[in-house]
Structure 1
């Protein structure tokens, strides 16, 4: 078992969690509300990125492996971590949730949803687990030449946290080329709008899982968002995905 292993979401936040907490969350919240996503400064250093990417080959850390082509998801593969999560993964999941829960609650209020999210991630996971959503959803993705990820949403059950995080573990231009992170949004009675999101190694993109509220002339309406990855042209691309709800 990797030395990064720990129990899920029940430890004091460490150095990486403190780095997440120190981000300019006012700017990030404004960007998330305005565009449905925001890009952070690097939250992981090069060595930390290499360590996390290197976990991919340790099968003992994962509960399942998905080859995208078998399911028409694209090309490439990813693995879902099992509990206990690696220490840094658990740390970042707790730290990001604490700053995203207020946005999630504001969005649900704007959309007239009666669902509200607790301040602590542990309490939200208890809600998921009580509903049978007990499978951890943080994952590592690995892409090679020609690989890509079709536009999709990560839902997994009745209880869905409306934001998620992807952290680029590889260095663009050095480890891989191509492989851009892509978002689309579908506004009512309009064609889909694409967005290519530039990331540096160790940086995170926070983005909407499914729907977000947008103010219009006739009030607030729902904008549906999807995400994916364009084709990798060379090298290998590794990404850490942080999904805050667990799966059935």
Structure 2
């Protein structure tokens, strides 16, 4: 009599998709719809907790940055942020390169609707070349750090003649564990109307794609332009870190 044994095999966990794969797999139809309707779109769990913690751990490494801004010194709010230097850390560079081509169609469509002649190339390197030819040579991706009582005033991240009209922020800290308060806030000013506020709740690793300065809104006589600003409400407790991905460079 022959006995047979069955080997128990353990399946290895599937590898984590790359940042580019995650961005490519997003529901871009929904993102575009949200941007058209609200000027922003939330993306759940873009980064893993480990990736978020690794980015927060970069904050003390001053050699990675070109400048540090203390917001209270400039009337920007309270808290501080640092602009990364070139070459960008690989996750930041990957995020910039992965998002840009998906956002170009929205940016070009919006400019056509607002009668703005500027069109953006499909490749981010070509757009950066346009910025650099105009003297906008300094990288703009940044990491922000807030403590209790800190906040970011409503603002627009422009930096020069060439502006890409969309940007991305990713929350690196966990609400309820690392901090309380500190909500991402946008306001939209329509002509002859009071401002509209939009609060975007985010968890650790969530991203929000949002309007840098203006976007078109369909009116009864065709599209018209509205201006938007963004900021962060006051932190009630703890510490909050965020990464900002801006696609144009600064002069």
TM (norm. structure 1) is 0.94
Deviations 1:76-131 (A, max 9, x none): 00000000000000001010101001100000010111100000000000000000
Query: Could you list the runs of 5+ residues in structure 1 that have no partner in the other structure?
Result: 1-13
Name the structure 1 match of 2:125.
Answer: 122
Name the structure 2 match of 1:27.
Answer: 30
Structure 1 residue corresponding to 2:101, chosen from 98, 102, 117: 98
User: Per-residue deviation at 1:34?
Assistant: 1.1
In structure 1, C-alpha distance between the alignment counterparts of 2:143 and 2:91, rounded to whole Å: 13
Structure 2 residue corresponding to 1:136, chosen from 117, 127, 139: 139
1:161-240 matches, within 5 Å, as 161-240=164-243
Name the structure 2 match of 1:54.
Answer: 57
Q: RMSD of aligned C-alpha atoms?
A: 0.7
User: Per-residue deviation at 1:54?
Assistant: 1.0
In structure 1, C-alpha distance between the alignment counterparts of 2:236 and 2:127, rounded to whole Å: 39
In structure 2, C-alpha distance between the alignment counterparts of 1:194 and 1:162, rounded to whole Å: 19
User: Per-residue deviation at 1:20?
Assistant: 1.1
2:158 match: secondary structure: coil
Q: Which runs of 4+ in 1 moved over 2 A?
A: none
Structure 2 residue corresponding to 1:244, chosen from 232, 242, 247: 247
User: Per-residue deviation at 1:16?
Assistant: 1.1
In structure 2, C-alpha distance between the alignment counterparts of 1:239 and 1:79, rounded to whole Å: 11
Query: Could you list the runs of 5+ residues in structure 2 that have no partner in the other structure?
Result: 1-16
Q: Larger radius of gyration, structure 1 or 2?
A: 2
1:63 match: secondary structure: strand
Residue 67 (str. 1) matches residue 70 (str. 2): yes
1:57 match: secondary structure: coil
Name the structure 2 match of 1:43.
Answer: 46
Residue 147 (str. 1) matches residue 150 (str. 2): yes
In structure 2, C-alpha distance between the alignment counterparts of 1:102 and 1:168, rounded to whole Å: 25
2:57 match: secondary structure: helix
In structure 2, C-alpha distance between the alignment counterparts of 1:134 and 1:18, rounded to whole Å: 29
Residue 87 (str. 1) matches residue 90 (str. 2): yes
The number of equivalent residue pairs is 235
In structure 1, C-alpha distance between the alignment counterparts of 2:184 and 2:213, rounded to whole Å: 16
